[in-house]
Structures are given as C-alpha cells and as structure tokens.
Structure 1
C-alpha cells in the first residue's frame, strides 16, 4: 500500500490511541510459511474438535433477447455436470489448472479447466454447497453446505479425510500457509481446525451471523464482519479480539464483504447500509467511509439502502473498488478518499476482482456478463457473455488470462481472455 494512504477518522478500539493512519509493515521480521505453520502448532485447541469477445459491450445487431442468449456465448468451455445453480467457484492456487465448483444439487466437483474432465465428485452434503476452496498448497479441497456440513478431500487419493458439522455456514477459508481451515457460522462463531486431525478452536463473536471473514497476510490474525455491523480482528494464537469496530463510526447494517490489502495494514468492509469503510488494522480505527451517494445515510428507517456486495484493493495503485446492488461500480482513490469513477451496470454486481498486475478490475453481475474496467479511465475494456442466467461467482487466473464463472443456469464456464488492451 502506498505510504500516502489517507488518515483521520475515529472508531471504537481496544488498544492504542493514535488518531491518524499509520501504514506499518507487519512483516518487519521475515517469516517463512514453515515458521507460521509452526506457530499455529502452538495454538491451544479445545478438545471438542473432531477428527470472440464483445470488446465494447455494444449489443447492436441482436434482434431479440432470445437470439442474444442463444448466440452470444464467448466461453471456450462449458461445465454442465451440476443439476442446479452453481453458487461458488475457486481455482487451485498452485497451478491454476483445476477448478472446484459447488452447487444447489448438494454436490461439488473438482475439474480441469482445459477440458472439463472431472477429477473428483464431492458428495455427502445435506444442502446446497455454497463454499468450496483449495488449500494453499492445492493438496486439499474443502467444501461446505448451507446446513453446516463441512468436508475436506485429499486430491491425490480422491478421498474424504475429514468432516464436521457446525451451525448454518456463512463462509469458509484456508489459512494462507498451513493446513488450517476457518469457517464463520450463523450463530456468530468462527471455527478454526487443524486438518486432518480436526483439533479445533472457536472465537465467539456477538450472537448474530459471522457474515464474512478473511485471514490476514501475516497468517496470525483473521478479520471477521458480523450481521450487527461490527468488525473484529482476532488473534489466531491467543484467541482474543485485538480490535472491535462498531458504534457510530462503524457500519449500521449487516456486513456483506471485506478485503485486505497486500501487507495487511488496511481492511475495507462493505455492508447493507450502502457504505464501505477503510480500517487501519494496527489501530482499529476507521480511516474513512466511501459512498457513491453522499446522501446515503444508513439509518434504521432506511430500508432502501443500496447494499455493498463486493469490495477489493487494487494491487498496483492506491485504489479500491466497491460494487453495489444497484449495479454501480465505484472506484475510489485512497490518497484523496474521493470517488474517481462511477461505472454503471444494468443489473446488480455480485462480485469483483482486481487483476494481479494491472489497474483493471473485473466484475460479474446479475445480467450474466463479466466485464473488465480500466480503473484509470473508468471505461469498459472487454465484456464476455455466455450464461443464460445470472453469474453468481467468478475468479481469474493469476495472469488474468482466464476467467471461470458460476451461474444460475446450472453451468460453469471458462473464458480465455483476449483483450485489445494487452
């Protein structure tokens, strides 16, 4: 993150009294993944644990919507094994060649994005599979359904190696450098397990949904957002909350999403109150709030608030992107805390993701298209279509050469990205 990041703002904090943003390098002492994994081994766990594209987006020439749905398929491969909506999708981090999808049919599939060949069918779930993620070394894949049934599969043997059941599942994430799995549930708990032993530790939040969570880059903390609008930064080893952000400077609606910058000094959160908030993770202070509508005040009587659905930090410039339910994409400048571009979709934004090495941000929306936006100009550089229903999730390969999507049309698709700006 650029050292000229913004300052100011107040929030509830448990430690420290700084009033300005201090961008501090949390990685002053170099640690290897093995060091972090060893630190997690010291954590005391409870004994309750168990084992041709449309470059401009111009639709001129289409005579009817039916023709557009039938003919406008820019995808290079369609995965059709699911018999219900496909809710989640992820790529293996090591090779970016394998994909896991989870769906309404109570199943998850691990498949090759080059030919669609199924490597593993993950069965035994009791409800729609809404979370599916690979471990940091791509050796394990975890799947979770809405009812709280969690399963971990070993890819080389194609065997289930661990299972557990919690309250209704909200999110699921692997530790960035150890075989440790974390999950947030509807009862407000965050769980952490060693895999495959199943030793566990719980972090008890407020008595409401733990709606979103992300392990910090240092591997020592997890940031969690809750339905009551609060945000907590937990110490994974000690099990205590380092900071609690709530009250007048916090969100006034349920948290929907969050992202962490690459050095872990900043978190951006989004909520149903139409606000995105920038938080300094060292002080626990809210640095500023972002909104595309200056009149948007999230009060109890504001039932029509424009919910924030996805947020993300640019990897190359001091910018953040915020996607809204009304289809607005806001690109904000961190240095000036101002709106740089307002980009409009015809339908609500579901998810956004920045490319790793450019100032291009990709979005998927309820209109079934994936779009790529140049954050410098605010212009669409490419649009890809192919789904006949809404896109519910998507992700990009590290080199941004391929996008894989999950749709309400029971399909996942692979798009090889050939853009004129490359």
Structure 2
C-alpha cells in the first residue's frame, strides 16, 4: 500500500502525458529544464563547425572588427606625399648626419650608415664630391666657419678634412670611438669627443710650413700640401728650396719665395 505522503506527491506531480488543459487555456511560455552537463561528442561537433578563418580576419581589423581602408596618397605604412624641393639619393643606407655651409647656405654635407659622406649642392642636389675613405658609419659632418673646409667623422674615430674648392683631402686623424665633432665658430680649429672621455682639439690643416725672416721676424710665407704633421725639413744651401717630410707618407719640395727676389 502507498502511504498518504507518496500518494499526495504523485497527485501534485502527475506524469507529463497525463496533463490536460481545460477550455481555451493557452501556453504562455515553455521552460526547458537543465539537461545536465554537455556530451563530449556534442562539444567536439560544435568545435568542428567554427570557422576560425573568419575570426582571424575580424581580428585583423580594429577593436570594433572594422577593416580600415588604405588612405588616398599613402604608399605603404610609413611613406606619404613628398613635399620636398630637392632629393639627394646617393646614400645606400640610413643618413645619420647633415650640415649646411654657414657662409653661403648653398652646400650640404651628409654622412650615413653606408660608410660614406657626400658634399652636394642644395639648389639641384648635384654631387660635388665624395668624402671617401671612411671605415665605419659616418655620424658627424660639418663645415668650418668660413665654409672653406669640411670635416667628417665615423664611428671608428677616423676624422677627415677636405678643402671645399679643390675637393682634396688635407688632413686626417684617428682618435678612437667618436661621440661628437664641432668646428670652432671663428677659427679653423676642429674639436671632438671620444667614448673614452677625452676631448681633442686640432688646428686644421697642420701640415703647414712657415718661413720667417730671421732679421726682422716677419713671416715670409707659408706652404700647404701635407695632410698630417710635419716630421722633418731641409733647406737648400742657397735657401731657394725647402724639402719636407710628413706623417702622410709623403715628401714635398717647395720653392722659397723671398721678398728681395
């Protein structure tokens, strides 16, 4: 026999197929009961149905899922319209330094990662000459105060100076790892600083021979031509010739110009 409690529970929860509706009653909402944990086979099937390619395409857009259209006039991600008047494009790598000549503002010198430096004309970008011979990236370049000399320096510490009008190298020096280089604002004096904490100063060019009149002490003339320090000299018996040797591996002969001749 069933107890009263069991019979009451059965009466409160009749089997689903025994439920009946009276009259015109309508079903307002059907509530589904929790079916329990998902079946692993069902989860695997759902993963196979996901299109991951579409999700990756959406992630490539912005945060809202929009794909940005390329802007008009923009080539690539870094380049834009070119508003420059002149382009100098002989460097084959990054250009690290640039300086304008202070006297005329018509010339520029540039140095780059390609171990090269060039002097060129601003008006049309024409190359005047290459400052050749560097062994590392050229990171410093500049004109002297009167624009007659141009100096370049690379990361290895090699410094070079050229005469602008003749386009010839007139001086060079190796000072160690170069940090900076500057010309004196009123004299042909070059200053530089190196990574070892030293500061250097040179009068450029220093391969100069000067002759004085021994009686009056007046400077007769000076002779330029060496690109390094003068190591020795010799004067002919009649004082008409002077021969010099230098650290630039050269010996030079100069004619002495005396005021009484």
TM (norm. structure 2) is 0.51
> Secondary structure of the equivalent of 1:119?
strand
| 1:146-185 to 2 correspondences below 5 Å | 146-185=155-194
Give the aligned partner of residue 94 of structure 2. Answer: 85
Retained in 2: the 8 A contact 1:125–1:145? yes
Alignment match of 2:134 (pick from 122, 125, 129): 125
How many angstroms apart in 2 are the aligned matches of 1:195 and 1:144? 14
> Secondary structure of the equivalent of 1:161?
strand
Report Cα offsets for 1:215-267 as digits up to 9, x if no partner.
Answer: xxxxxxxxxxxxxxxxxxxxxxxxxxxxxxxxxxxxxxxxxxxxxxxxxxxxx
Give the aligned partner of residue 141 of structure 1. Answer: 150
Report Cα offsets for 1:114-173 as digits up to 9, x if no partner.
Answer: 101111100100100000000000000000000000000001110000000011000000
How many angstroms apart in 2 are the aligned matches of 1:171 and 1:71? 32
- Aligned-pair distance for 1:62? 2.8
Retained in 1: the 8 A contact 2:115–2:138? yes
- Aligned-pair distance for 1:68? 7.1
Retained in 2: the 8 A contact 1:62–1:68? no
Retained in 2: the 8 A contact 1:148–1:165? yes
How many angstroms apart in 1 are the aligned matches of 2:80 and 2:121? 25
Report Cα offsets for 1:314-364 as digits up to 9, x if no partner.
Answer: xxxxxxxxxxxxxxxxxxxxxxxxxxxxxxxxxxxxxxxxxxxxxxxxxxx
Retained in 1: the 8 A contact 2:73–2:81? no
How many angstroms apart in 1 are the aligned matches of 2:80 and 2:189? 44
Give the aligned partner of residue 122 of structure 2. Answer: 113
Retained in 1: the 8 A contact 2:159–2:174? yes
- Aligned-pair distance for 1:71? 4.7
Name whichever structure is richer in strand by fraction: 1
Give the aligned partner of residue 204 of structure 2. Answer: 195
How many angstroms apart in 1 are the aligned matches of 2:149 and 2:73? 45
Size of the aligned set, in residue pairs, is: 140
Give the aligned partner of residue 32 of structure 1. Answer: none
How many angstroms apart in 1 are the aligned matches of 2:87 and 2:148? 25
How many angstroms apart in 1 are the aligned matches of 2:207 and 2:151? 13
Q: Is residue 85 of structure 2 the alignment partner of residue 76 of structure 1?
A: yes
How many angstroms apart in 2 are the aligned matches of 1:131 and 1:71? 28
Kindly report structure 1 stretches of 4+ aligned residues shifted beyond 6 Å: none
How many angstroms apart in 1 are the aligned matches of 2:72 and 2:119? 38
CA separation of 1:144 and 1:93: change in aligned 2, threshold 3 A: same
CA separation of 1:75 and 1:64: change in aligned 2, threshold 3 A: closer
Unmatched 5+ residue regions in structure 1?
1-60, 200-422
Unmatched 5+ residue regions in structure 2?
1-69, 209-261
- Aligned-pair distance for 1:66? 2.8
Name whichever structure is richer in helix by fraction: 2
> Secondary structure of the equivalent of 1:96?
coil
Retained in 1: the 8 A contact 2:74–2:80? no
How many angstroms apart in 2 are the aligned matches of 1:71 and 1:141? 33
- Aligned-pair distance for 1:109? 0.3
> Secondary structure of the equivalent of 2:75?
helix
TM (norm. structure 1) is 0.32
> Which structure: larger Rg?
2
Give the aligned partner of residue 195 of structure 2. Answer: 186
Alignment match of 1:100 (pick from 96, 109, 112): 109
